[in-house]
């Protein structure tokens, strides 16, 4: 399902997403498969087909500029995969490098964003990913991970280097219930991952067990309310539960709310990474 979307150059740029209601229901997911070599997906827009090739250095894994490890979970080499992002993974890099071809299970947050949809020649074409990965079973070892801050230079704002409202306000979405397909139009074909947003917190609902906490963030930088999710057991969930002020500086991960898209609304929400008191 995650590799069934198609793109059209346009104008306007368009992304069509089948299986929409099934994908919108996904939040925390656990997926098992094979750890493939690092590979990339390119979309032939005219034919609607995908071409998969090995990444640099023969598909060897490395650490990205933000400190994350991007790994490929799939069934067969050089076939489309699920993109997974593990934060602060340098200590785990040797294990991944040595475990290509072995069985892997990854758990984490199911995320949709139009950061690398395939319009650019250098895109690893995907709009869905497990990011952040919360737990991995690999090479006979199981490890859980908190949701942590990325490298500081990877954290942007709502206003810089791109005014995100301009893109968000242009994008439109329509839902075809009979075909269970979402049609998004007018995207730039790029987006920001991590953002730091100052604002005021309200409507806090602290989760219990595996239920995430939710709250609303009102920010002058954004100009409208943002829905925010804090995954159970993470530092952000503990921070929102013990917050003694409504004024915060929040680092969050942008993602598209597919549930809202089913109602014809393009809405970006944040996954809370870190919540600090103050402006």
The average pLDDT across 24-36 equals: 95
H or E element at residue 241: helix 235-241
**What architecture is domain 6-144?**
Beta Barrel (2.40)
Query: Where residue 51 falls among pLDDT bands split at 50, 70, 90?
Result: very high
pLDDT recorded at residue 117: 95
Within 8 A by CB and 6+ apart from 199, the residues are 217, 218, 219, 220, 221, 222, 226, 247, 248, 250
3-state secondary structure of 2: coil
Task: Identify which has the larger pLDDT, 139 or 262.
Answer: 262
Query: Where residue 228 falls among pLDDT bands split at 50, 70, 90?
Result: very high
The mean pLDDT value of the chain amounts to 94
Provide the percentage of residues in the chain whose pLDDT is more than 70: 100
pLDDT tens digit sequence for 115-137:
999 999 889 999 999 999 999 99
Within 8 A by CB and 6+ apart from 249, the residues are 196, 197, 198, 275, 276, 277, 278, 279
The structural domains of the chain, with segments of one domain joined by +, span 6-144
pLDDT recorded at residue 48: 76
pLDDT tens digit sequence for 203-216:
999 998 889 999 99
In the β-sheet with 181-185, what is the strand arrangement from edge to edge? 6-8, 14-17, 181-185, 172-176
Alpha-carbon span 126 to 124, nearest angstrom: 6
Q: Are 17 and 3 in contact (CB under 8 A)?
A: no
Whether pLDDT at 92 is above 80: yes
């Amino acid at each position: 399902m995650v590799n069934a979307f198609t793109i059209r150059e346009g104008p306007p740029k368009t992304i069509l997403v089948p299986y929409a209601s099934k994908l919108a229901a996904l939040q925390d997911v656990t997926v098992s498969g094979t750890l493939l070599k690092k590979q990339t997906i390119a979309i032939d827009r005219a034919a609607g087909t995908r071409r998969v090739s090995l990444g640099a250095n023969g598909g060897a894994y490395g650490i990205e500029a933000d400190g994350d490890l991007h790994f490929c979970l799939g069934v067969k080499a050089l076939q489309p995969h699920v993109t997974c992002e593990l934060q602060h993974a340098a200590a785990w890099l040797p294990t991944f490098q040595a475990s290509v071809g072995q069985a892997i299970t990854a758990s984490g947050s199911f995320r949709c964003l139009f950061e690398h949809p395939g319009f650019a020649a250098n895109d690893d074409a995907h709009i869905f990913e497990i990011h952040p990965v919360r737990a991995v079973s690999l090479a006979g070892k199981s490890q859980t991970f908190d949701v942590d801050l990325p490298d500081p230079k990877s954290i942007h704002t709502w206003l810089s280097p791109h005014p995100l409202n301009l893109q968000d306000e242009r994008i439109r979405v329509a839902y075809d219930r009979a075909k269970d397909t979402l049609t998004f139009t007018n995207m730039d074909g790029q987006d920001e991952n991590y953002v730091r947003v100052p604002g005021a917190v309200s409507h806090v609902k602290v989760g219990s067990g595996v239920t995430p906490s939710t709250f609303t963030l009102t920010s002058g930088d954004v100009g409208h309310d943002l829905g925010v999710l804090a995954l159970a057991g993470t530092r952000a969930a503990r921070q929102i539960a013990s917050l003694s002020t409504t004024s915060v500086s929040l680092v969050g991960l942008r993602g598209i709310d597919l549930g809202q898209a089913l109602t014809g609304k393009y809405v970006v929400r944040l996954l809370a990474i870190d919540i600090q008191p103050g402006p």
